[in-house]
C-alpha cells in the first residue's frame, strides 16, 4: 500500500501541469534579476550582501560583540592588572598575556607586558569581558577589520588593542578619574 503522508501537497490541475507554475517561478526570479540589474545599471547597489572587508555594514546591533578594547587609566596606562582571568576563561585559548612588574605604582604592581589576541581563533563569545574584574577589556560594536592572507597578521597586539580608536564608543563609559582613584590597596 502506498504510504500517505500527513503533509501531502494538495495540487490542483494547474499545479500538476507544472509548466505554468514553472513559468510563474521564472517570472519571479526574472523580476528579481531585472530589478537588481536596474539598480546596478543606475549605479546603486542591487544586493543585500556587503563587500565584506571593503564595506562595513552600518546596521550592526548596538550589542554586537566586536573587537576588543583594552581600557586605559587617565594617565594612559593600561588598566589590565594581568590577572589572567580572561585567558583562563577564554574557550578558544586565544589570549596570550605576559606580565611585568611595575614597583613605581603601588596600586598596580602587575601589568601586562604583552597582551595579544589571536583573531583567527577568537569566537567573540565575550567571556573575557565578563571575567575581567578590572573592567579592563571590553568589546566594541565594530568588527575587527583583520581579514588577510596571513594568519600571523591576525594577532592583535597590545598597542593595537589599546589604541585602535573605535569608530563608536562602547556602550559603557570609561571610568572617570574619580572612580579609578577610589580603589584602595588593602
Interface with another protein by CB under 8 A: which residues? 18-19, 22, 25-26, 28-30, 32-33, 36-37, 40, 46-49, 51
Q: By CB under 6 A, is residue 160 in contact with ligand SF4?
A: no
> What is the distance between the alpha carbons of residues 63 and 72, in angstroms, rounded to a whole number?
22
Options 80, 143, 156, 161; binder of ligand SF4; rule CB under 6 A:
80
Q: By CB under 6 A, is residue 85 in contact with ligand SF4?
A: yes
Which ranges of 66-157 would DSSP assign to H, the alpha helix? 85-89, 127-131
Among ligand SF4, another protein, none, the one that 83 touches (CB under a kind-dependent 5 to 8 A) is ligand SF4
Site for ligand SF4 in 87-116 (CB under 6 A): 89-92, 94-95, 97
Q: Using alpha carbons, select from 77, 54, 94, 57 the residue that is nearest to residue 134.
A: 77
Q: By CB under 6 A, is residue 72 in contact with ligand SF4?
A: no
- Burial label for 152, CB within 10 Å (0-12, 13-18, 19+), is exposed
Q: How far is the CB of 36 from ligand SF4 (least distance, A)?
A: 36
Q: Using alpha carbons, select from 118, 101, 109, 100 the residue that is nearest to residue 161.
A: 118
Which ranges of the chain would DSSP assign to H, the alpha helix? 13-16, 19-41, 85-89, 127-131, 158-163, 177-181
What residue ranges bind ligand SF4 (CB under 6 A)? 80-86, 89-92, 94-95, 97, 117, 122-128, 131-132, 134, 136-137
Amino acid at each position: 500500500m502506498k504510504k500517505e503522508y500527513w503533509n501531502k501537497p494538495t495540487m490542483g490541475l494547474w499545479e500538476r501541469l507544472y509548466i505554468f507554475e514553472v513559468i510563474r517561478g521564472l517570472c519571479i526570479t526574472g523580476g528579481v534579476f531585472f530589478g537588481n540589474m536596474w539598480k546596478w545599471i543606475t549605479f546603486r547597489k542591487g544586493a543585500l550582501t556587503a563587500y565584506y572587508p571593503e564595506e562595513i555594514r552600518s546596521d550592526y546591533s548596538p550589542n554586537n560583540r566586536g573587537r576588543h578594547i583594552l581600557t586605559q587609566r587617565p594617565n594612559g596606562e593600561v588598566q589590565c592588572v594581568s590577572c589572567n582571568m580572561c585567558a583562563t576563561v577564554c574557550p578558544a585559548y586565544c589570549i596570550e598575556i605576559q606580565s611585568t612588574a611595575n614597583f613605581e605604582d603601588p596600586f598596580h604592581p602587575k601589568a601586562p607586558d604583552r597582551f595579544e589576541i589571536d583573531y583567527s581563533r577568537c569566537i567573540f563569545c565575550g567571556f573575557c569581558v565578563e571575567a575581567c574584574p578590572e573592567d579592563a577589556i571590553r568589546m566594541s560594536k565594530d568588527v575587527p577589520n583583520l581579514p588577510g592572507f596571513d594568519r600571523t597578521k591576525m594577532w592583535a597586539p597590545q598597542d593595537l588593542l589599546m589604541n585602535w580608536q573605535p569608530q563608536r564608543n562602547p556602550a559603557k563609559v570609561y571610568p572617570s578619574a574619580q572612580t579609578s582613584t577610589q580603589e584602595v590597596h588593602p
